[in-house]
């Protein structure tokens, strides 16, 4: 982003604060430049700052500049001397298209005269923008155009129904009506490119495609735009392309902000060929296409099941009977091998109707074939990552709330091990539960008879056959595991061990906050929605990113954790996109409320003991016991989840068919040198930077440069360093595990960029 232009914009807005409307401010801002290309840059800066996020601005903007740029490139895939945008708004899309296509005739239409006037500021002098409604008004348009491209407003009802030309269909929705209207305005070789809401997949879409077909226009492509890429709404959408050529199959892909991915999509679209990965392109039958998310979930489901060694089992064989329940009807006779599945919302499968979380929502009772599955195992399987993928494949497209289609469910295949393996797994879980109950009994016995605990100690020695902490450490990211390993190897006093554990929790806070900030900044719209409030919260706590403290990182986590939990509940797809993982278990670990309790408690211990002067032996021992309890709680929160979210450093890369094949260093566990493994992604990773990567995913989350794993300056041994503070023009980093070279003070451009990126919009300091 042009920082000088950003500062200039906020100076301009400060000078006009409270005196003008948004439209007046925007027009004045654009008129400060005389060149249309410079005005377009001004508009982009406006959209990326003032207009970023999902706050409505008079309905003038819909997509982000990146989506509009991609649509312009997609629309330019073909010849064309004339282009029309029948709902052009302020003209960003039309301006981008006119540049990509080198069209000689550029026409735009908008119902808002003030907005239409602004559009003319962005367009070449040869362009014309008309004020009116092309569905009803007589406008001086050409008879036909080579390209009609638009981002009409979503869910905007017409003041009167529109009868589609060449068919009997009647439309009440603006975007559908405009696309239907366009079918009679395209040249024989022309094409229409429209951004539509995801409800174009389903019954509404069937009506629209039928109307286009009657007018001689056929669907060529539907490119999925995930939630988070549109303004004033959090819904997903599709870029639809239609032309007059015949297509046995339609092309589908998934838009992403990575330019390499966009090039792959355009290449495969032009050649009408599939890519190596679903996001790069697939060819699908129009009659069987139920949305990109269903398609991609199906492929991931098959791959995951194959890795797990599971075989497909037809649900019609697995389910002997099914009974749909509603509300009070959930109180039914419960069979020996039944389970209950909510058909709406995000509730889990359960074994008993009383466990259904939303009694008013529709659910189904499934009677399971005991020769193929144990209902207890199947219930757990439906609630894990593989089961969630399966349910994604039988979910109705475009529904705001998840709606499982029962017929799709019954017609699908699920993946299960053999019945004897299921029973072995259930027996293992039963033993774990018994062991947990025994440990609970020991704990109760200690509190019941604290003066007589010999019996409990003997029982604990019998249960605790071996210390598995070391095994757990090998599954942690190296920045955390290395500190706990130092604690493990420490031969010093209890006070020394406490210092190491306090460093661990401080590092944990910075590591977790870095993940949160990296994910938040990976989605510019999400970041724009929250950066100013975060900055205010940090400032109110008298904290600063210039001086990184335990309190700062805790403040960041406290602020963002609630935002992320809400996003996971409201828009799980966008949340998985932010963190680049499909694993619900990983996300639930990252947002676990116990984490805040751990950090708050450890910070309190730190303040009470580390900063409280000389402590007695009893206080030191008490603090140590408290800190070790917190480590065990950490273990409970994390478990083995990091196996699904590896910390890696990319190295050598080979690109084959648009897929990036990396050799990455797996920065996990306690020991160096790190193991090198192969991973594939559809987006590039910067060499040497730390990334979090789901081994089953296709994108990696690049971490902000607050944490560095690198050779220490003096010894060249691998060490982990955490950002500590700005030091004049340099930055100071500290290591909590590498005593030989525990501090580094240098200038790191990427860390400086990360620090500058924490500033709120409009801040120049």
Mean local confidence (pLDDT), 723-732:
93
Pairing assessment for the beta strands 338-342 and 700-702 based on DSSP bridges: unpaired
* CA triple 687-691-695, angle to 5 deg: 110
Is the pLDDT reported for residue 328 higher than 60?
no
- Check residue 60 and give its pLDDT: 44
Q: Which fold has domain 296-417?
A: Adenine-n6-DNA-methyltransferase TaqI; Chain A, domain 2 (3.90.220)
Residue bearing the bigger pLDDT, 469 or 300: 300
**141 Cβ contact list (under 8 Å, min separation 6):** 84, 107, 109, 130, 134, 185
Q: Domain limits of the chain?
A: 1-52, 62-288, 296-417, 422-463, 470-642, 646-756
φ/ψ region of 600 (left if φ > 0, alpha if ψ in -120 to 50, else beta) reads alpha
- Check residue 461 and give its pLDDT: 59
Distance between CA 694 and CA 230 in Å, rounded? 26
Mean local confidence (pLDDT), 481-505:
92
Residue-wise pLDDT tens digits, 605-625: 888 765 555 567 888 888 888
Is the pLDDT reported for residue 721 higher than 50?
yes
- Check residue 43 and give its pLDDT: 83
| Burial status of residue 436 (CB atoms within 10 A of its CB: 0-12, 13-18, 19 or more) | exposed
Mean local confidence (pLDDT), 463-483:
80
The percentage of the chain sitting over the pLDDT mark of 90, rounded to a whole number, equals: 52
Residue bearing the bigger pLDDT, 439 or 278: 278
Residue-wise pLDDT tens digits, 138-188: 899 999 999 999 999 887 888 888 888 877 789 888 999 999 999 999 999
**Listed range (133-147, 392-406, 654-668) with the worst mean pLDDT:** 392-406
Residue-wise pLDDT tens digits, 398-434: 656 778 999 999 999 999 999 999 999 988 888 777 7
- Check residue 466 and give its pLDDT: 46
Distance between CA 110 and CA 135 in Å, rounded? 11
Q: Which of 540, 582, 543, 549 is nearest to 693 (CA)?
A: 582
Q: In whole numbers, what is the pLDDT of the chain averaged over residues?
A: 87
pLDDT-based confidence at residue 453 (cuts at 50, 70, 90):
confident
Is the pLDDT reported for residue 455 higher than 70?
no
CATH classification (class only), 62-288? alpha beta
Mean local confidence (pLDDT), 587-592:
95
Kindly compute the dihedral angle of the four CA atoms of residues 468, 474, 478, 480, in this order, to the nearest 10 degrees: -20
Is the pLDDT reported for residue 298 higher than 80?
yes
Phi, psi for 561 (deg, rounded to 5): -60, -45
Q: Do domains 62-288 and 296-417 have the same CATH topology?
A: no
Distance between CA 681 and CA 465 in Å, rounded? 42
Stated pTM of the model: 0.84
pLDDT-based confidence at residue 59 (cuts at 50, 70, 90):
very low
pLDDT-based confidence at residue 446 (cuts at 50, 70, 90):
confident
The answer to whether 304 and 389 have CB atoms below 8 angstroms apart is yes
pLDDT-based confidence at residue 440 (cuts at 50, 70, 90):
confident
Element (H, E) at 406: helix 406-411
Mean local confidence (pLDDT), 254-267:
92
Distance between CA 567 and CA 523 in Å, rounded? 13
Residue-wise pLDDT tens digits, 337-384: 999 999 987 789 998 888 887 655 789 999 999 999 999 999 999 999
Count how many residues are written for the chain.
Answer: 765
pLDDT-based confidence at residue 61 (cuts at 50, 70, 90):
very low
How many Cβ atoms from other residues are within 10 Å of residue 233's Cβ? 15
Question: Side-chain half-sphere of 325: how many Cα atoms within 13 Å?
Answer: 25
Is the pLDDT reported for residue 54 higher than 80?
no
Is the pLDDT reported for residue 205 higher than 60?
yes
Is the pLDDT reported for residue 552 higher than 50?
yes
**392 Cβ contact list (under 8 Å, min separation 6):** 293, 294, 297, 301
Is the pLDDT reported for residue 115 higher than 90?
no
pLDDT-based confidence at residue 638 (cuts at 50, 70, 90):
very high
Phi, psi for 649 (deg, rounded to 5): -120, 115
Distance between CA 760 and CA 756 in Å, rounded? 9
């Amino acid at each position: 982003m042009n920082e000088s232009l950003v500062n200039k914009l906020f100076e301009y807005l400060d000078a006009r604060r409270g005196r003008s409307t948004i439209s007046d401010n925007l027009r004045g801002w654009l008129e400060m430049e005389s060149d249309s290309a410079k005005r377009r840059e001004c508009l982009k800066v406006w959209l990326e700052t003032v207009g970023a996020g999902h706050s409505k601005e008079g309905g003038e903007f819909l997509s982000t500049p990146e989506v509009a740029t991609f649509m312009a490139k997609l629309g330019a895939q073909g010849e064309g001397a004339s282009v029309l945008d029948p709902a052009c708004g302020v003209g960003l899309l039309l301006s981008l298209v006119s540049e990509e296509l080198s069209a000689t005739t550029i026409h735009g239409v908008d119902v808002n005269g003030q907005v239409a006037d602004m559009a003319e500021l962005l367009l070449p002098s040869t362009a014309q923008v008309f004020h009116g409604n092309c569905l009803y008004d007589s406008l001086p348009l050409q008879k036909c155009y080579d390209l009609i491209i638009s981002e009409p407003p979503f869910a905007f009802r017409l003041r009167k129904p529109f009868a589609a030309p060449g068919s009997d269909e009647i439309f009440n929705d603006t975007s559908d009506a405009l696309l239907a209207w366009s079918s009679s305005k395209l040249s024989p070789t022309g094409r229409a490119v429209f951004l539509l809401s995801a409800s174009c997949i389903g019954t509404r879409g069937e009506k629209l495609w039928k109307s286009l077909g009657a007018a001689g226009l056929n669907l060529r492509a539907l490119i999925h735009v995930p939630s988070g890429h549109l303004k004033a709404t959090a819904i997903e959408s599709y870029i639809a392309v239609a032309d007059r050529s015949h297509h046995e199959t339609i092309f589908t892909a998934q838009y992403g902000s990575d330019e390499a991915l966009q090039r792959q999509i355009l290449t495969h679209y032009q050649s009408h060929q599939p890519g190596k990965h679903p996001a790069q392109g697939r060819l699908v039958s129009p009659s069987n296409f139920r949305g990109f998310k269903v398609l991609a979930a199906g492929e991931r489901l098959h791959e995951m099941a194959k890795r797990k060694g599971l075989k497909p089992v037809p649900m019609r064989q697995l389910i002997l009977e099914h009974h749909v329940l509603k509300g009070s009807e959930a109180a039914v006779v419960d069979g020996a091998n039944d389970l209950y599945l909510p058909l709406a919302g995000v509730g889990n499968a359960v074994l008993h109707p009383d466990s259904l979380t939303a009694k008013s929502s529709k659910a189904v009772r499934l009677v399971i074939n005991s020769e193929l599955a144990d209902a207890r195992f199947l219930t757990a399987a439906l609630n894990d990552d593989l089961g969630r993928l399966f349910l994604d494949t039988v979910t109705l497209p475009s529904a705001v709330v998840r709606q499982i289609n029962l017929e799709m469910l019954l017609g699908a295949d699920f993946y299960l091990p053999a019945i004897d393996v299921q029973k072995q797994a259930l027996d293992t879980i039963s033993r774990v539960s018994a062991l947990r109950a025994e440990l609970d009994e020991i704990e109760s016995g200690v509190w019941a008879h604290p003066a007589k605990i010999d019996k409990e100690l003997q029982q604990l020695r019998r249960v605790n056959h071996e210390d598995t902490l070391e095994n757990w450490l090998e599954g942690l990211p190296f920045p955390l595991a290395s500190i706990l390993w130092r604690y493990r190897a420490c031969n010093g006093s209890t006070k020394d061990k406490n210092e190491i554990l306090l460093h661990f929790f401080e590092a944990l806070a910075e590591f977790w906050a870095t993940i949160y900030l990296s994910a938040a900044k990976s989605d510019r719209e999400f970041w724009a929605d929250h950066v100013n409030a975060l900055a205010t919260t940090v400032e109110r706590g008298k904290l600063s990113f210039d001086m990184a403290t335990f309190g700062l990182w805790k403040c960041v986590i406290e602020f963002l954790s609630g935002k992320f939990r809400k996003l996971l509940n409201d828009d799980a797809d966008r949340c998985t996109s932010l963190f680049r993982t499909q694993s619900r278990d990983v996300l639930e670990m990252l947002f676990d409320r116990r984490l805040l309790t751990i950090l708050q408690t450890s910070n309190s211990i730190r303040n009470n003991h580390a900063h409280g002067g000389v402590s007695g032996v009893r206080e030191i021992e008490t603090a140590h016991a408290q800190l070790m309890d917190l480590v065990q709680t950490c273990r409970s929160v994390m478990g083995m989840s990091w196996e699904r979210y590896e910390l890696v450093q990319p190295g050598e890369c080979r690109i084959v068919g648009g897929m990036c094949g990396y050799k990455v260093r797996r920065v996990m566990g306690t020991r160096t040198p790190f193991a090198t493994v192969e991973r594939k992604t559809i987006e590039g990773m910067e060499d040497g930077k730390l990334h979090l990567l789901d081994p089953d995913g296709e994108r990696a989350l690049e971490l902000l440069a607050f944490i560095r794993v690198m050779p220490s300056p003096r010894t060249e041994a691998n060490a982990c360093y955490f950002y500590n503070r700005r030091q004049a023009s340099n930055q100071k980093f500290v290591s909590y595990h590498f005593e030989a070279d525990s501090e580094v003070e240098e200038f790191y451009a990427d860390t400086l960029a990360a620090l500058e990126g924490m500033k709120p919009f409009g801040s120049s300091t």
